[in-house]
Amino acid sequence: MAAEDLTVQVLNLAPRVTLAELNTFFSYCGTVQQIQLLRQDKDQLPYALVTFVQPYAFQTALLLDDATFGGQQIGILPAYDIRIPIVSDEDTKDDHTQVNDKVGTLMCFCSCFG
């Protein structure tokens, strides 16, 4: 497994969480290789990317989804399972057209060769 495969994203962190607190919390899962504490916007809660050395540590961390940490219920997902931001209908008009074109092409392909 590559290192990026052993990374979890930790969502809904308390605003004042520290790297040391995250390291202590996740070290019970196994050996922590790296922690990145990130914030997209100053008005949003921070999130973290935690990379483990062992696959079992990664799997154990995923079991902590919905745990309480720093007084808040956190979400833990594989880092490659990126959360899709909510956008307005205006932002997605062109995307729907492209998706519908691809679905139509796929349906044609399946009915022609299936």
* Residue 102 vs residue 7, higher pLDDT: 7
What pLDDT sits at residue 40?
81
pLDDT of residue 89: 57
Q: Please tell me the predicted confidence (pLDDT) of residue 41.
A: 81
Residue 50 has what pLDDT?
97
* 25/84: higher pLDDT: 25
The confidence score (pLDDT) of residue 44 equals 86
Q: DSSP letter string over 43-101?
A: TSPPEEEEEESSHHHHHHHHTTTT-EETTEE-EEEETTSPPPPP--HHHHHHHHHHHHH
Candidate CATH numbers 3.30.70.330, 3.90.79.10, 3.40.50.720, 3.40.50.410; the one for domain 3-78: 3.30.70.330
CA dist list (Å): 2 to 48, 57, 104: 19, 14, 36
Q: pLDDT tens digits, residue range 6-64?
A: 999 999 999 999 999 999 999 999 999 999 999 888 788 899 999 999 999 999 999 99
So where are the chain's domains?
A: 3-78, 86-114
CB atoms within 10 A of CB 54: 14
User: Under a CB-based contact definition with an 8 Å cutoff, are residues 82 and 40 in contact?
Assistant: no
Asked if 22 and 37 count as a contact pair (C-beta separation under 8 A), the reply is: yes
pLDDT at residue 86, as a whole number = 54
